[in-house]
Amino acid sequence: MNYNFIVIEGNIGAGKTTLARKLADDFNAKLIPEEFAENPFLPKFYNNPEKYSFPLELSFLADRFYQLNNQIRNRDLFKPFIIADYYFTKSLIFAGNTLSTDEFNLYRRIFNIIYTSLPKPDLYVYLHLDVYNLIKNIKRRGRNYEKSIRPEYLERIQNGYFEYMKQHSNKYKFLIIDTNRIDFANKNSDYEMIRNTIFEKNYKLGINRVIL
């Protein structure tokens, strides 16, 4: 195992939490799942984005930093590596698509101050699904506060992830896995395929793309 810290990322409905849990179980890894269910601003944001975007993004920023900083630094000696279903840069990507220009400029200053103190992932895995399939997954899991999510919003978030990876391709290892043709949540053969893709190959610095 060449990795100490792996991130599984993706758009809303991409299946990142499902995959992270499966991998953590398989490898006895320490799992860091995103804790967002109790965020009081999330349902309000989906109903009124303009009013609640700034407090929502600030609360996510604080929660994500607190969780990642504690969990990554407090290593479990009986776990070979850490796997998280999000990373701190998610905050910047989502904020860039929800905040006004002035709000985002202030937010980015706060983000940059905090970000420098966090450990960086050895491998950043991005699960790519077309917006059509994201919408299907979102409807299937049936969270009430996600019912108002529009395809245009998912498209902007997706573009935000791609832009982030382009801008930082000289610093990190990114692995973009196109999962439109597989169902790793329900088919074990598909899960094994994606697991092997992540762990049985050595990836170079920059953006690496795989279609499954």
Residue in 26, 85, 122, 190 annotated catalytic: 85
Q: Is the Cβ–Cβ distance between 144 and 43 less than 8 Å?
A: yes
C-alpha dihedral over 209, 21, 24, 93, to 10 degrees?
50
d(CA 189, CA 164): 31
Q: Is the Cβ–Cβ distance between 194 and 19 less than 8 Å?
A: yes
DSSP at 146: G
* Residue 208 backbone dihedrals phi, psi, to 5 degrees: -115, 135
Q: What is the CA radius of gyration of the chain?
A: 17
Q: Is the Cβ–Cβ distance between 12 and 64 less than 8 Å?
A: no
Query: What's at 22, amino acid-wise?
Result: K
Beta strands across the sheet bearing 206-211: 30-32, 82-84, 5-10, 123-128, 173-178, 206-211
Asked if 190 is an active-site residue, the reply is: no
Instruction: Cite the active site residues.
Output: 85
